[in-house]
Structure formats: structure tokens, C-alpha cells
Amino acid sequence: MNNQALFNFLLRIGDTNLILAQRLSEWTGHGPFLEEDLALTNIALDLFGTSRSVLEYAAKIEEKGRTEDDLAFLRGEREFVNPLICELPNGDYAFTIARQCIVDAFQLHFYSELVKSKDETIAGISAKAIKETKYHFRHSASWMERFGNGTEESHERLQNALNFIWAYTEDVFATDAGYNELIKTGIVPEMAAIKSAWEKSMNEVLAKSSVSKPENVFMQKGSLKGIHTEQFGYLLTEMQYMQRAFPGAKW
């Protein structure tokens, strides 16, 4: 395969959506109230949908006869390349929302550039994802605002969530040599511009939410090399249980 860089990139996007959706779907049936339960489930559904399209394309690019399900359910911990933030356990609703807002803001700016990709399939998937992500970001940013300005308790919970999670923000923008190759061929955008657009958006949301941006944070990294948090293995164990227990079965 001479498309290794493209394959790796597709895994990155597919895993980002898959693992975050897996976490969000843990809330289904347990949300803070019914309307919000439905709204969060909607977001999970969008992300699963994107991950499925992207992994399907990755499998095709790889040309090894694997399917999107093989990629989702039969890779090990070290082969997953989602940003670490996606796999962090849900915590309370403030944590879930803070995690979501950070990723939504990233995805919004990222897809807005990725839609110009020279790769038509990627451009098509991005066009659909932009529409969805706009709604996701509006949802998470408006909850940030409510928590930050709602009650003392909600403010404190949101600030605590941000203080913990901020260490995982830089890892979202990680790139490697393969990614830089793809920039040259016009398949993916420069990450630096995306990061500054993300920073601007986050600064706005944080200001509106009357919370402060954590300063002097030591940044966690490793996702592009498949170095995960300890919780990740448990997430995979649960997600992959059926495919591992019944090899070769069709569902």
C-alpha cells in the first residue's frame, strides 16, 4: 500500500468520532433530563455515522480486505489513534460538556478546511460533518454558558472540569511526518491555522461562560503513537467484546 499516510489519517478521524461517540452513548437513558438525553444521543449518532463512513473509506484505501467493523472491533489499544481527550471517562455532565465543546470547536474548524481536500471522498464526508458539527458546537457552547453562569455549583463543576481536561487539548492538534506529506498533496490542511482558530473560539466561549482558561498546564500527548490513557483498554474491552467472543460471526 502506498497510501499509508492517508490510511493513518483516516484512522485518526474515524477513531476520534468513534471513541467520543462510544463515550457519549454511555449517557443514553441516563441523561440529566429527557430532552437533553435525546439531544446528546443525537450527537452520538452523528459521530458514529461519521466514523463509519471514514473507517469504511480507510478500509478501502488499505486494500487488505478489511471492513469498517474489522477496523473498529479488531484493532488493539496501540493501533487506535484518537486524541486522548475522546477516551476520557464521562465524569459529571460539566465534564462531558467541556470535553465535547473542546472537540466540537476543533472539528468545526477542521472540517471547514478539510472540505477543500483534493480527495473527493474526504471532502464529501467533511461537507456533511460541518453541518452536524455546527449544531454540536452550538449545543455544547450553550451548555458551557449555562453552567458557567448558572449556579455556584454548576460554575464550580465546569471550572473543575476545565482544570482537569485542559492538559489534553494540545494532543488534539498532534501531527506527524505522514500528515505533513498529505498537506503537500492538498489532502489535509495546515494544523497551525486550525489551532489558532480553535483558540479564538474557545476564548470566546470561556469568556461568555465566565470561567478561566487554565494556565501553565503540562500537556499530555501520545495519541498519534497509540499511547493511551489507562482507561482506554476498558473502553475497547467493552466495545469489542462481541467481535472477540464470536470471531467470524455476522451480525
Binding residues for another protein, per CB under 8 A?
18, 22, 25-26, 28-38, 41-42, 44-45, 48-49, 51-52, 55, 68-69, 72-73, 92-93, 145-147, 149-151, 153-154, 157, 238-239, 241-243, 246, 248-251
Report helix angle 191-208 to 120-149, nearest 10. 20
Closer residue to another protein, CB minimum distance, 55 or 103: 55
Closer residue to another protein, CB minimum distance, 35 or 215: 35
Task: Give the number of C-alpha atoms closer than 13 A to the C-alpha of residue 33, restricted to the C-beta side.
Answer: 1
Inter-residue contact 71 to 14 (CB < 8 Å): yes
- Name the minimum Å distance from CB 161 to another protein: 13
Q: How many CB atoms lie within 10 A of CB 35?
A: 9
- Name the minimum Å distance from CB 101 to another protein: 15
- Name the minimum Å distance from CB 51 to another protein: 7
Quote the longest CA-to-CA distance of the chain. 55
Closer residue to another protein, CB minimum distance, 227 or 239: 239
Q: What is the dihedral of CA 45, 51, 57, 58, to 10 degrees?
A: -160
- Name the minimum Å distance from CB 113 to another protein: 26
